[in-house]
Structure 1
Amino acid sequence: MESRVRDLCLQLYEIGALKFGDFKMKVGVSSPVYFDLRMMISYPTVMESLSNLLWDFAKSEGVECDVVCGVPYTALPLATLIAVKADLPMLIRRKEAKDYGTKKLIEGVYSKDDLCIIFEDVVTTGSSILETVNDLKHEGLVVKEVVAVLDREQGGIGNLARQGISLKPLMTLTQVLRHLKALGKIDDNTINKIQTYVQQNQLDPRGEPKKSDEVSRLELSFSARADMAQHVVAARLLRLMDKKQSLLCVAADVSTSQQLLNLAEAVGPHVALLKTHADIITDWSPNVALQLASLAKQHDFLIMEDRKFADIGHTTGLQYSLVRPWADLVTVHGLPGDGLLQGIQAEIARYPESQRGVVPIAQLSCSGNLITPQYTKSVMRQAASFPQLIAGFVCQSPDVVVPPGLLQLTPGVSLAESTDTLGQQYNSPLAVVCERGADLAIVGRAIVSADDPAYAAQKYKTLLWEAYQQRVKRQAVKED
C-alpha cells in the first residue's frame, strides 16, 4: 500500500495537483501548499488509479456500507468510479435543493438506516464533510466513517471526531512531504516551512484558529454555560431552560390576539421562549402586549419578537421602540451592518432597567435561501463587537455558535414532516439538538395546529430535553 501511495504522490505532483507557493484556502487562510485534485479529471488514468487505491484502502480499514456518497464536488468522480467498481449504490448530495423537479437535496435510491460511507478529496477543517453528514442524517441515513484522499493535519480529524465521525485518510500531509522529498521534488526548507505553517494553523470547523483551552458549547450543561454568558438575557434564559428542563420555543404564528393569548396560556408551562409575529396579529394593540407579558411572568417564559429588522440604524431604532416594552429578544438581519445594531442599542440604553437582547439570523431553514457561508461568518463576527447586545443566533449548523455563553436557536422542527409546500425543511427533536446543535428548538405548526397544543408542547419539551441529556452525556463520554 505504501509504495502505491508513493507512486500516487508522484503522479499528482507531475500533473500539477500538488502545488507549492502561497495560496488562499476555502477557510480564508493562506497556505504554502495546495492540493488541487480537480486536476485529475483531465487525466483519466490517474483518476482511475486514485479511485482504485482509495477503495482498496477503505476495504483494508474494514469499512462497511450500503451506499456511497462523495462530498461535492471534487470527490464526486472518485465516488462514482468506486461505486461502479464495488457495485454499490451511490448518492449525490446537492449543495442546495432545487425548487423544481423532485426538489430533493439527496439524489439516489436509499432506505432509512442505510449505512453510508462518505468519500472526500482533501480535509482541512472537516466543515464540508459535516455539512454532508448533516444532510444525509436528515434523510435517515447512518454515517459513521469518512474516507479521504488527504488529511492536511490542521484539525479535521478532531473536529469530525467531536461530532462522532471517524476520518480515515489514505495519506497525510506529512506522508506526502516525506515521499516527495525522497523523490527529489522538494527540499528540507520547503518541508520546514510547511510543518511550521501546520503547527501554527490548527483550525476549528469554521476555519478559525483553535484555542487549546476552548470548551465546546455542546459539552456543557445550560447551568454551567449561564455562568459564562456575557449577556444578561442569555444567562437568564439558560438558567430558565435548566430550571424548566425545556429547550422548547413555540412559534406563535397565529392571526388574532385571542389565538395568541390562548396559545400562550396553553404552552406557557412547557416553553422557555415564545416566538411572536406581532405584525400578523390583525387586532394587535399595546393592551395585547401587556396581557402577553403578564402570561410570560405567570408561566415563567421569555418572549422573542421575530421581527427580523433589516433597515438603517435610525429607522430600526424607531421600529424597535415599539417592541422593546414587551419583548425580551428580537431577531435581526446582519445585512445592514453595525448601524442597525447601534440603533437598537441606543434605544435600549434609554431604559437602563430593561433587560433586552438581539438574536441575528445567521442561517435560514428554508430551501433556496441566499445566505452564503461567508455571510454567516460575517454575521457571527458581530457577537465580538456587541457582546452586551447579542444573546444568540438563529442557525442550522453546530459549528456556527462557538462561545458557550451564546445560544443557538434552530427553527424547522417536526416529528411528522420533512418539508412543506413552501420549502421549509424540518428536523426531528433528536436531530436538531444532537446533530444541528440547537439550544432552543423552534416548533411551530406541529404544536400550534395540534388538537391539544398543551399536550403537544409537553411532548416536544420531553423529547428535546432527552436529546439534550444525550448530547451532554455523549460529549462527556468522548472527553473520558
Structure 2
Amino acid sequence: MEQRELRLKEFAVELFKINAIKFGEYKTKVGLMTPVYCDLRVLVSYPKIMGILSDLIIDTLHTIESQEVICGVPYTALPIATIVSFKTNLPMVMRRKEAKDYGTKKLIEGIFQEGDKCLIIEDVVTSGSSILETTKDLIKEGMKVTDAIVLLNREQGGEKFLTQHGIKMHALLTMTSLMKYLKDAGCVTEESCKKVGDYLKNSQVTTNSVVTKRSKRLEMTFEDRFPYAKNEVAKRLFKIIIEKKTNLVLAADLTDATDILNLAESVGPHICSLKLHVDIVEHFNDNFTSTLSQIAKKHNFLLFEDRKFADIGKTVEYQYTRGVYKIASWASLVTAHSLTGHGVLDALLLARGSNELGVFLLAECSAKGSLIDEKYTNATITMGKNYSDLIAGYVCQQKLFVDEPGYLQLTPGVQLGVSGDDLGQQYNSPSSVILEGGADVAVVGRGITKAGNPENAAKEYKDLLWAAYLQRVKQ
C-alpha cells in the first residue's frame, strides 16, 4: 500500500473511532435517507485529527494549478480551511450564509483582488449544491472558481454535477474507499459494505432538480422544505402542517375567553395554529392560557400571539416575558415589526431563554392605505436573514423570499365572497392567496368566527387552502 493510501486508511479509522462515521438510518441535507452518515462537525474537538486532515488537503493542493485564496463552505469546513490557510500562508476569505444588515453588509469577508482564483474546501459532498452556492457568491465578487477539495465524496452525483458547472472536485475519500478501509481494519462487516454499496446504486441525487428546487420555494412540498428550516418552532409548524394536511391559521379575534376556548376545541382538528390578540380578551387570567395550551396540545396546533412587537429592546423583553399576559409562557409564535431596528429581535432572542420561539416579521400588511413600501419590505427581509434561528417566516401579501424554502410566508386577510370591510381590511380568496400571493399558511378570521358553524367553516377553508397548495406544487 502506497504511503498516501496508508495515511488515508489511518485517517478513515480515526474518523470511525471518534464517531464521525455513523451507521443506522439518517436523513441527508438533500432529504435522502442513508444507512451511513458522516458527522464531521465533531472534528473541531480533535486537534490532532484536524492536523492530519489539513496535511492531506495540502498534499492534494500541491497537485492543483496555483490558487490565490481559499474559502471553506460554511460552516463545518471553515475551521478546516483556516488551518490550511495557516499552514500554507494562502489567504482565506469567508462566505457568510446571509449578508449583514449593518456595517459593510458584505457576503464575502476577507481581502482579495478581482480575478483571484479561489479554491473551495468542503467536508462532504452529496449533490454539490452547497459548493455551487458558495461558488456563485464568490463569482459575484469577481473571483474565479475552478477547483474544490472535499474530504468525502458520497458518490451520489455531486461530482458529475460540479463538473457540469466547471468545477473539478478532488476528494480525499470516496464512500467506496472509506468503507473498504474500514472493512480492512475490522471496523465494519462485509454485510455493511454491501448495504452501503446497494444504497449508493439506488440513491443517486438528481442534482439539477435539487438546485432548482432550492431556489423555488413555491414549487417545493412542505416535506422537501422541512430540512431547510432553521428555527425550531418553524420545524414544528412544518411537521404539523404535513401531519394534519392543513395550512390554515385561525385568527381567534374574540373578546370572551370562554368563547375562544370553545372555538379552539371545535376547530382544533382543522388548524395548524391559533392566533390571538390576547390584549383584547376580557376577564383574562392564567387559567385561560393554561386551558388553551391543553387544547392546543390535544389537537396538535401552535399558539400564536399577534403582538407585533415594535418598541425598544428592553420594553419588548418585558412585553414578551412579564406583565399580565406572560406571553413567553404559552405562545410558540409571535409577530414583530422591523420598524425600530434589530433591537427588537435581539431582545426576543435573549428573552426566549430555553423557550422555543418563532417570530414572523411583518414585511407587508393587508390594511388598505398601509405606509409600508417596497424599500421597507426589502429591508425587513434582509434583517430577518441575520436571525435565521429565530425567524419562522414573514407576514406578507405577495411572493417574496422565493429562494428561502426554510421560511414560511404567512398571509392574513382571507375570506370567501368578501372583498373588504369598512375599516380598511382587504380580503383574498383561499386559492388566490396561495396560488397568486405565494402564501404557505393563510390566516382566516371572521370567515370562521362569524360562521353559523365554525367547525364546518374551518374544514371548508382547510380543504380549499390545501387543495390550492397541492395545485401549486402539482401533487
TM category, shorter: 0.5 to 0.7
Deviations 1:18-53 (A, max 9, x none): xxxxxxxxxxxxxxxxxxxxxxxxxxxxxxxxxxxx
Q: Match of 2:288, as an amino acid?
A: V
Q: Match of 2:350, as an amino acid?
A: A
Post-superposition shift, 1:262? 0.7
Counterpart CA distance in 2 for 1:265 and 1:386 is: 34
| Equivalent in the alignment of 2:226 | 226
Residue aligned with 2:464, SS = helix
Deviations 1:46-92 (A, max 9, x none): xxxxxxxxxxxxxxxxxxxxxxxxxxxxxxxxxxxxxxxxxxxxxxx
Q: Match of 1:224, as an amino acid?
A: D
Residue aligned with 1:293, SS = helix
Q: Match of 2:456, as an amino acid?
A: Y
| Equivalent in the alignment of 1:267 | 267
| Equivalent in the alignment of 2:280 | 280
2:304–2:334 CA contact under 8 A, matched in 1: yes
The unaligned stretches of length 5 or more in structure 2 are: 1-138, 144-210
| Equivalent in the alignment of 1:110 | none
CA RMSD, Structure 1 to Structure 2 (Å): 1.9
| Equivalent in the alignment of 1:378 | 379
Counterpart CA distance in 2 for 1:430 and 1:243 is: 21
Residue aligned with 2:328, SS = coil
Counterpart CA distance in 2 for 1:227 and 1:214 is: 11
Counterpart CA distance in 1 for 2:223 and 2:297 is: 21
Counterpart CA distance in 1 for 2:398 and 2:250 is: 20
Deviations 1:131-151 (A, max 9, x none): xxxxxxxxxxxxxxxxxxxxx
Q: Match of 1:436, as an amino acid?
A: G
Pairing 1:356–2:349 present:
no
Counterpart CA distance in 1 for 2:434 and 2:284 is: 33
Question: 2:331 aligned to 327, 332, 335, which one?
Answer: 327
| Equivalent in the alignment of 1:26 | none
Q: Match of 2:334, as an amino acid?
A: V
Alignment of 1:79-228 (within 5 A): 214-228=214-228
Counterpart CA distance in 2 for 1:315 and 1:346 is: 13
Post-superposition shift, 1:455? 0.4
1:393–1:401 CA contact under 8 A, matched in 2: no
Residue aligned with 1:424, SS = coil
> TM-score of the superposition, structure 2-length normalised?
0.54
> TM-score of the superposition, structure 1-length normalised?
0.54
| Equivalent in the alignment of 2:415 | 414
Residue aligned with 1:405, SS = coil
407 and 254 in structure 1: CA distance in 2 versus 1, 3 angstrom threshold:
same
Counterpart CA distance in 1 for 2:443 and 2:369 is: 20
1:305–1:323 CA contact under 8 A, matched in 2: yes
The unaligned stretches of length 5 or more in structure 1 are: 1-195, 201-210
Counterpart CA distance in 2 for 1:275 and 1:403 is: 24
2:257–2:284 CA contact under 8 A, matched in 1: yes
2:213–2:219 CA contact under 8 A, matched in 1: no
Counterpart CA distance in 1 for 2:240 and 2:395 is: 19
Residue aligned with 1:308, SS = strand
| Equivalent in the alignment of 1:397 | 398
Counterpart CA distance in 1 for 2:412 and 2:394 is: 11
2:396–2:409 CA contact under 8 A, matched in 1: yes
Aligned residues: 265
Counterpart CA distance in 2 for 1:237 and 1:294 is: 17
Counterpart CA distance in 2 for 1:216 and 1:226 is: 14
Q: Match of 2:340, as an amino acid?
A: P
Counterpart CA distance in 2 for 1:468 and 1:212 is: 19
